[in-house]
Structure 1
């Protein structure tokens, strides 16, 4: 049985909010601190659809993984994976194929610690603490090399993470480095928050996150679409997350996240 606070690593600063834990709060999770909930409440005060936007992004991830599985993908690299909640990549993938292999990568100590607890005993899934903005370090990590065969197609996921990457870090170059490491036939899923639909509210979200460990950088449609350069987009292209191959019965979609899947 997991101890109540076993997911909190020794020495973690519980007074510094993090994007992973704020996102966990918005999704209704329990692995966040008081400071994260405070920031999350500020987000909701300026963007009342915050929980729905977070949920639509999470739902897109599940549909993207299922699409990849249908295309024959059995190994996945999830960058900026965050804190595990229901419907993680390994749950979706291994439900369809128990031999599916998954490597999660995040730099948040709580996300990594809790992921390790969730994955204990799962020989086909692991978590690595690393900075996705350093592709060489991530790709050369022993755990990545142990579980993933880069000579075969891989499902690469960058879901709700690049809006934490400043322009100075050159997001397009980071994506390109991972793209170059993938075998032909690999699939790439990306989602990204935008201020295109509610600029004032999303400006308030940026302000709420400004003093966190993970300030935000929302991008317009053309800049998000450009991150897929060098890939071939699958239908319906880059769209609002709820509109990417929606499940039947979806209601009026909430906008705020662009998403797409593409093939190398």
Structure 2
């Protein structure tokens, strides 16, 4: 657990952070007491919440492997990357192509400090402290512009990030539109997002209970969105069909080209977060 007395400048150790709660759920140790408390509260409402984090992380790895193996894209911009853990984007893609470049972006100073420390010897990565809901602060950032060639295809990653946009500063699709408009042809966009069943099912009830816990706490809010709303985040790009399906659509991330067949019925953790991968022609 992190020592609150040695918190970096700009960090309030009495207020939870999305990145640190997520890291704790993944088994990391970069959390303050408040983050551990919030994780426990969320887990009480949805005991499978740690599995949600793991499913999301697995989807990120599979999507990056797909892009690295099956396309010529060698540049990645990871929005809302969170704390570096095992199997980070640069580890996945640089294992396949040593010259792949990765720019990470997060708003949490703890994340930025730790990220810069572990990446300082990797010349093909950068960690930028910025708000992903202020696209121009990233698109015009000197480190991002220096690392990535915007004349060549880029993989834009917004994995478990956009559901932290509650719409107060415009629709999240408009935010993504600013990024997507700058991407050259041949680029890819990867998105995962908490999905709102809106069907009165048990999943719907558990989700609402979980969101109520989050909204009462100190962590940044989470807004669930319907399949149609998640599709809008891709701004009309062509979705890659998932798992051999002939028609591409938003799917639970656990169903996006899993590493093997499923022998058991999907859990709520596998149903509650959805997304996809799209290409800009």
TM (norm. structure 2) is: 0.89
- Deviation of 1:20 after TM superposition, in Å, equals 0.8
Deviations 1:195-230 (A, max 9, x none): 326122212222222232411111111111121222
Within the candidate set 210, 216, 230, 2:236 is matched to: 230
Measure how far apart 1:49 and its partner are. Answer: 1.1
Partner of 2:149: 149
Shift of residue 250, structure 1, vs aligned partner:
4.4
Aligned position for 2:139: 139
For 2:235 and 2:48, the matched residues in 1 are separated by 30
Q: Residue 68 of structure 1 corresponds to which residue in structure 2?
A: 67
Aligned length: 260
Question: 1:221 is matched with which residue?
Answer: 227
Once residues 73 and 114 of structure 1 are traced to their aligned partners in structure 2, the CA distance between those partners, rounded to angstroms, is: 27
Q: 2:10 and 2:167 mapped to 1: Cα distance?
A: 31
Match of 2:88? Answer: 88
Structure 2 segments unaligned to the other structure (5+ residues): 243-248
CA distance in 2, matches of 1:244, 1:152: 26
Aligned to 1:173: 174
Provide the secondary structure at the position in 2 that maps to 1:43: helix
Q: Does 1:36 align with 2:42?
A: no
Taking structure 1 as reference, are residues 13 and 223 closer, same or farther at Cα in structure 2, changes over 3 Å only? same
Structure 1 residues 163-194: Cα deviation after superposition (integer angstroms, max 9, x where no partner): 10012321011111100000000000000012
Residue ranges of structure 1 left out of the alignment (5+ in a row):
none
Out of 205, 212, 227, the position equivalent to 1:207 is 212
CA shift, 1:117, in A, is 1.4
Indicate the SS of the match to 2:271.
coil
Partner SS, residue 200 of structure 1: helix
> Tell me, what secondary structure is at the counterpart of 1:59?
helix
Q: Give distance in 1, aligned partners of 2:115 and 2:82.
A: 9
Query: Hey, which bits of structure 1, 4+ residues long, moved more than 4 A?
Result: none
Name the counterpart of 2:278: 262
Match of 2:117 in 1: 117
Instruction: Tell me the distance in 1 between the aligned counterparts of 2:31 and 2:56.
Output: 19
SS of residue paired to 1:168: coil
Native 8 Å contact 2:14 2:34 kept in 1? yes
Equivalent in the alignment of 1:77: 77
Instruction: Give the TM-score normalised by the residue count of structure 1.
Output: 0.94
